[in-house]
Structure 1
Amino acid sequence: MLIQLAVMGLLVALIPLTLTWVSNDADKYRKLVWITVFLTFDLIMFGAFTRLTDSGLGCPDWPGCYGHSNPLLAHEHISAAQEAMPTGPVTVAKAWIEMIHRYLAMAVGVLIITLMVIAWRRWIKSGRTELRFRPWFPTLLFLFVCLQGAFGAWTVTMKLQPVIVTIHLLLGLTLLAMLTWLGARQNAHAPVSPAGRALATPALIGLALLIVQVALGGWVSTNYAALACNDFPLCHGALVPQMDFDNGFTLWRHLGKTADGEYLPFPALTAIHWVHRTFAFVVIAYLAWLGRKAFQDGGLRKTGRWLLTVMALQLVTGLATIYLNWPLAIAVVHNGGAALLLLLLVMLNYKTRHAPAAEAARAAPAPF
């Protein structure tokens, strides 16, 4: 079964690898890095879809599905589980959603292994002189994707325990951030002014605030608290509703249960939702200021514009999930918006630290 699953991951990875190989791009390593970024973003989006459709236990074992490499071979077991509990966690559709998510994850793993191998080969072949092929970061990516795979397994074997699922989400976003940083190292960047470079620390603070907000959003999603407040800007008609922070933010507990094994009270879900919603105002205000400052610098203008645009999208989709009673498509887009914000803030952090200085660009001699 493991060999069959590995072959499946390789087959999926062969599509982007072939597209990179036959492309006219002279820098195929750079192209492969950004294709891996794109597919990792897609994997995060599909992971959100898997979670939001309650398909995380569509195949209740790991890495296969009832001991098989695909749901077709496990159809008898899946059908029996669906017949016993038609609205339960195991159905034919949910099994396919879960296994497609795993196939995509394995494909991303294959691409990261490829990046690591290419980096080591080019680094050694160049006599350790081509700095952009330094292999330490791609090797760290390989180790990190192995850690992410372990949390993916624990997500299933520990029956969607909220803290494990949330860490799995955060690790996936961290992987996207690391790949984006690697991609930024391959790009040529416009010069950044001293005022733009002064945004290095504010950009890092913005990234930290976003990570906290994403963690809170993940906690909302993994505890199914998205509809705990169905009005806005109030919650249950109050600015500060009745809330149970102790049970809501107890990390080590089973899904839907308190640490003592009792059913999680609704005020705990309200507390989870309310904290995420309230902290969003802090993040929006700060990122709006940061995006505006970045937009004022020529070397950061494009990143600043996209930061403001995606942040506005996040605000709209966040409100829409409340007013429209949590439609699946908008909820998935809201998750994708968080990943895009992370990507943009990583790019902003890279540019404010490593893009060429505007003064140096003016002083450089003109090329012949």
Structure 2
Amino acid sequence: MSASWRAVDLQGESEVTMSDSRRRVRLLLTLSLVGVLFTIGVILVGVWTRLVDAGLGCPDWPGCYGRLVVPDETRALAHSPDAPLESFKAWVEMVHRYVASTLGLLVIALVVLGAPLRRRADYPWGVSLALLGVILLQGAFGAFTVTLKLWPQVVTMHLLGGLSVMLLFLWLHLRLRRFAAGRLTLGGVAAPRRPLTPLWALAMLLLVGQLALGGWVSSNYAGIACQGFPTCNGQWWPAMDWSEGFHLTQSVGPNYLHGQLHADARTAIQFAHRLGALALGLVLLLLALRHWHEARLRPWLGGLVGVFVVQLGLGIANVLLWLPLWLALLHTAGAVALVVMMALAVWGWRESAPQAAKQQTVEKEWAHV
């Protein structure tokens, strides 16, 4: 038996043998990593579905014209006379639903496999349950996206939900790695971890806000509302309708395919996204400069700033090139990469507690032995 596994709390050992525990954790580690990669794929498929205007390719949910596979035109017309079948768009939408459903099954498998380990010290049972809750909520948002006809509020929340699922998969994987390594100090107490400082919290808050703004830009079709860069429509402060652009209680009911807002409202949304990118970039740079002296954090902070610079370039290119499909997909992939790098940087910060604090904790535990 390895030293790392001897460090794990053996409470509830009657439920499962140690060898079974090791096999379970190895499988959980693999599945959680697969979940991260698979979720990224699902997010990109979802964005592609939206970019090719296939979000309403099937007018109902969870089936497509009342069936689990795309039917022929005769059956589709009999089911929904007001929604003519476009076979390509219907299949794109159904592929997105199939892969999203597979992701849900993967989450359920993780919860079931991890249940026997839930009483072990430092096992991330809470993260597993949070992942299950978010994936169920994400399924509801998927249904509302169709039934509410691409209502921007729901579409934006659906994107944020997908990123949240990916983040929880990643966090679960990191926690499982720590659990497998048995990184506990004497007495079965977890090693000290640094709390987030206000600067870290601000960076995370701005990133979430910028992701939400990106979703709001996409769901309101405001990607090229500002022509040109760095100016917007030839002006540094163009005509904008902020109240209409961010009217979050807009009515439910119209078909929001291609958007419902007028030009000045869409310009306000795009301009806000640009301002958000500026604020986020400055804070990320400040965060990197503040902690650059810490060798263990330097790769993550450098990667975070580097990904942001690439993402900024992709955003500018999307505007200048009039939002080509492949570039819009890359921009979404850049947002995913930003979330991953921020999570890894936060993990590195919390896990790299000063050695003095770790030594002090060990000495306190020895005093009680």
Query: Structures share a fold, TM > 0.5?
Result: yes
**TM-score normalised over the length of structure 2:** 0.79
Residue 70, structure 1, aligned to residue 69, structure 2: yes
Partner Cα separation in structure 2 for residue 266 and residue 115 of structure 1 = 46
SS at the partner of 2:340?
helix
Aligned to 2:12: none
- Alpha-carbon distance, 1:26 to partner: 8.0
Residue 329, structure 1, aligned to residue 326, structure 2: yes
**TM-score normalised over the length of structure 1:** 0.79
Aligned to 2:277: 280
Give deviations 1:275-317, integer Å, cap 9, x for gaps.
1112211111211232344554222222123212211110110
Aligned to 2:165: 175
Corresponding letter in the other structure for 2:111: M
Pick from 117, 120, 128 the counterpart of residue 129 of structure 1: 120
Partner Cα separation in structure 1 for residue 73 and residue 251 of structure 2 = 29
Partner Cα separation in structure 1 for residue 48 and residue 37 of structure 2 = 17
Given that 1:60 and 1:66 are in contact with CA atoms closer than 8 Å, whether structure 2 keeps it comes out as yes
Q: How does 1:194-273 map to 2 (within 5 A)?
A: 200-253=197-250, 264-273=261-270
- Alpha-carbon distance, 1:356 to partner: 5.0
Q: How does 1:148-187 map to 2 (within 5 A)?
A: 148-187=138-177
Pick from 261, 285, 297 the counterpart of residue 300 of structure 1: 297
Give deviations 1:316-340, integer Å, cap 9, x for gaps.
1001101111111111111111121
Given that 1:162 and 1:254 are in contact with CA atoms closer than 8 Å, whether structure 2 keeps it comes out as no
Corresponding letter in the other structure for 1:99: M
Pick from 109, 112, 123 the counterpart of residue 114 of structure 1: 109
SS at the partner of 1:252?
coil
Given that 1:207 and 1:346 are in contact with CA atoms closer than 8 Å, whether structure 2 keeps it comes out as no
Pick from 94, 113, 116 the counterpart of residue 89 of structure 2: 94
Q: 1:49 to 1:295 in 2, by over 3 A?
A: farther
- Alpha-carbon distance, 1:254 to partner: 5.3
Q: Which has the larger radius of gyration?
A: 2
Partner Cα separation in structure 2 for residue 63 and residue 258 of structure 1 = 19
SS at the partner of 1:237?
coil
Corresponding letter in the other structure for 1:239: W
Given that 2:149 and 2:253 are in contact with CA atoms closer than 8 Å, whether structure 1 keeps it comes out as no
- Alpha-carbon distance, 1:135 to partner: 2.3
- Identity over aligned pairs, percent: 36
SS at the partner of 1:187?
helix
Corresponding letter in the other structure for 1:179: F
Pick from 281, 285, 288 the counterpart of residue 291 of structure 1: 288
Residue 39, structure 1, aligned to residue 34, structure 2: no
Corresponding letter in the other structure for 1:108: L
Given that 1:162 and 1:253 are in contact with CA atoms closer than 8 Å, whether structure 2 keeps it comes out as no
Aligned to 2:55: 56
Q: Is there any run of 5+ residues in structure 1 with no aligned partner, and where?
A: 1-23, 191-195
Pick from 344, 347, 351 the counterpart of residue 348 of structure 2: 351
Q: 1:243 to 1:120 in 2, by over 3 A?
A: same
Equivalent residues, number: 325
Partner Cα separation in structure 1 for residue 31 and residue 197 of structure 2 = 28
Given that 1:247 and 1:258 are in contact with CA atoms closer than 8 Å, whether structure 2 keeps it comes out as no
- Alpha-carbon distance, 1:256 to partner: 11
Partner Cα separation in structure 2 for residue 308 and residue 346 of structure 1 = 13
Given that 1:64 and 1:70 are in contact with CA atoms closer than 8 Å, whether structure 2 keeps it comes out as yes
Q: Is there any run of 5+ residues in structure 2 with no aligned partner, and where?
A: 1-22, 184-192, 363-369
Residue 314, structure 1, aligned to residue 311, structure 2: yes
Aligned to 2:4: none
Given that 1:258 and 1:264 are in contact with CA atoms closer than 8 Å, whether structure 2 keeps it comes out as no
Aligned to 2:99: 104
Give deviations 1:119-140, integer Å, cap 9, x for gaps.
10233xxxx23422x4232122
